[in-house]
Amino acid sequence: MTRATLTVALLAGGRSSEHDVSLASARAVREGLERAGHEVRWVEIERDGGWCHGGERLSLRPGEGLLDADVVFPALHGPFGEDGTVQGLLETLDVAYVGAGVASSALCMDKVLFKELMSACGVPQVEYAGARVERWREAPTEVLGEIAGLGLPVFVKPAHLGSSVGIAKVAEAAELGEALDRAFAHDPLVIVEAMAQGAEVECAALGVIDQEGTNRSRGILASVPGEIVFAEEWYDYAAKYRDGGMQLVVPARISAAASARVRELAVEVFAYTGCEGLARVDFFVDGEQVLVNELNTMPGFTPTSVYAKLTEASGIPYPELVDRLCRLGIERWEARRAYQY
C-alpha cells in the first residue's frame, strides 16, 4: 500500500547551546524525509528565539497549526526545544508533532528529576547527587560533603543540557568546586554522578504504529544494543561530533542475558517516563550488571549519531525511520482529539 505524502514542518536551531548540533540533525532529517517522498518546510529558530521560514519571521496563532503542515518534526536539542517548552507551544497551535509530549519532555530533560523517578520505580542506575546553585552559594561545605559519598572520580553535569555540554570529569577532590562553578554557569541545577564501570551501551526505543510487528512490548520496539567505544578518555562533546571521535559497535559486546536486560529496561524506562515516538536510553553494563544512565527524548540525528544507526541495524532504514516518527505523531494527535477535555 502506498502511503500518502506528508507536509512536514521541520524545526531546526533553537536558543540553546546545542543550536549548531540541531541544525546538523535537521539537515539529515530533511534529507531522510525527502527520500521518503515528503515535502519539508524548514523553520529555523534563531538564537534569539525568533522563528523564521523562507527568510521571514513567522507569526504564530493558537489553534491554527504551523504552515499548513500535517506534522511538525522538532529536531531540537536542549533547553527551549527538548524540555517541553516547544511541545507546549505546538499543543497550543493544535498540530501533530514528533516525539515526547510536554510532561515527559520536561521530566527527561531534568536529569535529577529523571533519576528520582527511576529510583522510585526501582530501576537500577548510577549513584548520583543533585545540587542547586543557591544552596551551593549558601552552604558549599554541606554540598561537597554530600557529593563525597559518591567517591572519586565523578562526572559533574548541568542538569538540563545534552550533547555533553558543560560536563567535567573530576578525579581530585580539590577540583570539584571549580567543576561545579563551571557547570552552574550553564544551569542552576547540577547533577554529580559516580563513575560506573563497564561498557557504555545505548538502545533505541521506537513507538509502534497500529500495533504492527512482532518484536514489541507495550507498543515499543527496542533496538539491538550498541556499544560506544571512544578515542578520548570519556564520551565528551568532541567524541560525539568529531569524525573518528567514537565508534559504535553493533551489537554491543555484552552477554546475551545482559543484552536482553538492556532491551527490557529500555522499554520499561520509556513507559515509566511516558515517552512517545522515540527515545535513546543509555546504560553502563559490567558483566551481568546493567545500570540505566539517562534517557534522551530527541537524540541526535546527525550522520554520526547513534540512534539512527541502531534502528538501521534493527531493520529500519533512515527514510523509514523519519517517516514512521511523523506518522506516530499524527496517530497520537488524532487519538487525543477524540477526547473531550
User: What domains lie within the chain, and their CATH numbers?
Assistant: 7-98 (3.40.50.20), 106-123+197-316 (3.30.470.20), 128-194 (3.30.1490.20)
Average pLDDT, the chain: 92
Q: What is the pLDDT of residues 64-114, one digit of tens each?
A: 999 999 999 999 999 999 999 999 999 999 999 999 999 999 999 999 999
- Residue 282: active-site member: yes
Burial of 204 per CB tally in 10 Å (0-12, 13-18, 19+):
buried
Mean pLDDT to the nearest integer, 38-67: 97
Residue 213 has pLDDT above 50, yes or no: no
Please choose, from the candidates 320, 199, 290, the residue with its C-alpha nearest in 3D space to the C-alpha of residue 250: 199
- Residue 341: active-site member: no
Which of 187, 236, 282, 331 is flagged as catalytic? Answer: 282
CA distance 7 to 54: 16
pTM of the model as a whole: 0.91
Residue 59 has pLDDT above 80, yes or no: yes
How much of the chain exceeds pLDDT 70, in percent? 91
- Residue 18: active-site member: yes
Which of 105, 163, 293, 305 is flagged as catalytic? Answer: 163
Which of 82, 83, 294, 323 is flagged as catalytic? Answer: 294
Residues 6+ apart with CB under 8 A from 139: none
Per the omega criterion (within 30 degrees of 0), is the bond before 303 cis? no
Q: How long a stretch of residues is the chain?
A: 341
Cell numbers for 302? 546527525
Residue 3 has pLDDT above 90, yes or no: no
CA distance 74 to 81: 7
- Residue 241: active-site member: yes
- Residue 300: active-site member: yes
Are 278 and 221 spatial neighbours (Cβ–Cβ below 8 Å)? no
Residue 223 DSSP class: P
Which of 200, 300, 305, 307 is flagged as catalytic? Answer: 300
**What local confidence, expressed as pLDDT, does residue 208 receive?**
86
Query: Quick count: other Cβ atoms within 10 Å of Cβ 230?
Result: 17
CA distance 224 to 127: 26
CA distance 84 to 102: 4
**What local confidence, expressed as pLDDT, does residue 219 receive?**
83
**What local confidence, expressed as pLDDT, does residue 246 receive?**
84
- Residue 137: active-site member: no
